[in-house]
């Protein structure tokens, strides 16, 4: 009996040692470690950092929490003004008389503005620059009235565009980001008082503005504004984006985009910068001071630019080995040569470039096919890469670049198709006999 107990005790010890050894060798795989989020210790309510061409999120902290965005709301106003210009609904040199509402907003306590006066008129371009550079609320409402007929109508346009862009945690009440209860007799709503936007939505909006209207950066990157230049009453104002050249928090490559502050929002900033051919978009919301919003943005940019880069993996017009042709139905030819429709780049961690496997998917093609017609997509997948977070679902679904037809394929005549089908029938018949 004693011998039996000793055998059980020894077996237990051996089993314990084996389990401890297994636990000691069970370290996470390198790919899982690569997915560990950066610990930047940002003093913010929410934040996000995005590489816009791939839509990959490099850092996020409460990215979907709706918060007051204050004057970052003006990014949507900029978008709609530039869209109206593109559609020839308004013109850059068109003069806009100062309305009573714009005159009132210019004198709201602590409101950013260019102090528009009754009886003045300014061009759309002058007003746009005042909005984009000096965050002028009076210029913003005047543009909103010009494009929408009234701020109320314009806000409806803002909310509609937000839905179209896929901004799921956003609601606009004012064109400026000012609280509704600060509009005095011009307030058309009492509840809710503040615009709402998540950090992710702010990044979606910033990316859409830069993508659809890159000229917006030509204005947002201007460090200082002279309003009423050449008159007896010029007004000089510095850009609220202190990360621009010559301003207190200058950061190389910054060319936008928009700050914001209200008592409820605290200090916010949607920033963008480029380095070595890569652009980043950052958003910080709910920081404690003007200085802090730029310090926290600097942490995001430093992290992004020091850890990631865009790497070219394929030229435009290149043939992909194993995917040289795509099948075509009812064509003179049965296949069409396929090449990349654009230069292909992938976002990779510095030092972990590795190899990328091309994955090509061709559409179901029927002749006629035109040269340079999109016929499929190619995605480059990093070997051993962990799961990536994307700004929007379609960034992952529509990743990669288009494959295009290298030549045209004409539609085959009915007689060619008839004899082709006869030939296929005979071939299949002999295959079944010899099989």
Q: What does the block give as tokens for 138?
A: 């009076």
Which single residue is written with the structure tokens 């096919």? Answer: 369
* Catalytic one of 46, 60, 71, 73: 71
135 is catalytic: yes
Interstrand relation of 335-340 and 344-349 (parallel, antiparallel or unpaired)? unpaired
**Cα separation of 283 and 296, whole Å?**
9
74 is catalytic: yes
**Cα separation of 410 and 123, whole Å?**
53
* Catalytic one of 135, 198, 220, 282: 135
73 is catalytic: no
* Catalytic one of 45, 46, 73, 74: 74
**Cα separation of 21 and 189, whole Å?**
67
Residues marked active site are found at: 71, 74, 135
């Amino acid at each position: 009996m004693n011998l039996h107990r000793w055998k059980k005790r020894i077996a237990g010890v051996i089993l314990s040692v084996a389990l401890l050894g297994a636990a000691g060798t069970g370290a996470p795989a390198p790919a899982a470690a690569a997915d560990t989020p950066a610990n930047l210790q940002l003093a913010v309510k929410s934040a996000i950092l995005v590489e816009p061409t791939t839509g990959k999120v490099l850092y996020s902290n409460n990215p979907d929490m709706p918060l007051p965005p204050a004057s970052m709301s003006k990014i949507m106003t900029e978008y709609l003004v530039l869209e109206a210009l593109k559609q020839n609904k308004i013109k850059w040199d068109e003069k806009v008389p100062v309305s009573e509402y714009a005159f009132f907003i210019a004198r709201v306590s602590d409101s950013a503005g260019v102090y528009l006066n009754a009886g003045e008129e300014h061009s759309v371009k002058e007003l746009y620059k005042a909005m984009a550079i000096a965050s002028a609320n009076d210029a913003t409402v005047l543009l909103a009235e010009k494009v929408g007929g009234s701020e109320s109508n314009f806000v409806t346009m803002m909310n509609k565009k937000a839905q179209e862009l896929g901004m799921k945690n956003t609601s606009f009440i004012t064109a400026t980001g000012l609280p509704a209860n600060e509009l005095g007799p011009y307030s058309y709503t009492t509840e809710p008082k503040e615009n709402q936007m998540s950090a992710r939505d702010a990044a979606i909006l910033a990316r859409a503005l830069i993508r659809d209207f890159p000229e917006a950066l030509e204005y947002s990157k201007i460090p200082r504004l002279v309003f009423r230049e050449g008159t007896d009453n010029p007004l000089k104002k510095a850009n609220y984006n202190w990360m621009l050249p010559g301003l207190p928090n200058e950061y190389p490559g910054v060319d936008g985009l928009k700050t914001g502050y209200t008592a409820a929002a605290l200090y916010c900033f949607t920033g963008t910068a480029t380095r070595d051919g890569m652009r980043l978009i950052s958003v910080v919301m709910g920081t404690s001071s003007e200085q802090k919003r730029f310090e926290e943005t600097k942490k995001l940019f430093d992290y992004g630019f020091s850890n990631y880069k865009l790497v070219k993996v394929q030229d435009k017009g290149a043939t992909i080995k194993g995917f040289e042709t795509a099948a075509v139905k009812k064509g003179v030819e049965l296949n069409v040569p396929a090449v990349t429709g654009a230069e292909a780049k992938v976002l990779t961690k510095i030092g972990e470039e590795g190899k990328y496997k091309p994955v090509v998917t061709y559409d179901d093609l029927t002749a006629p096919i035109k040269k340079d017609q999109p016929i499929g997509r190619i995605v480059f997948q990093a070997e051993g890469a962990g799961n990536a977070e994307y700004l929007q679902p379609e960034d992952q679904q529509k990743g990669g670049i288009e494959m295009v037809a290298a030549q045209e394929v004409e539609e085959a005549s009915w007689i060619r198709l008839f004899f082709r089908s006869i030939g296929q029938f005979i071939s299949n018949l002999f295959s079944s006999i010899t099989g």
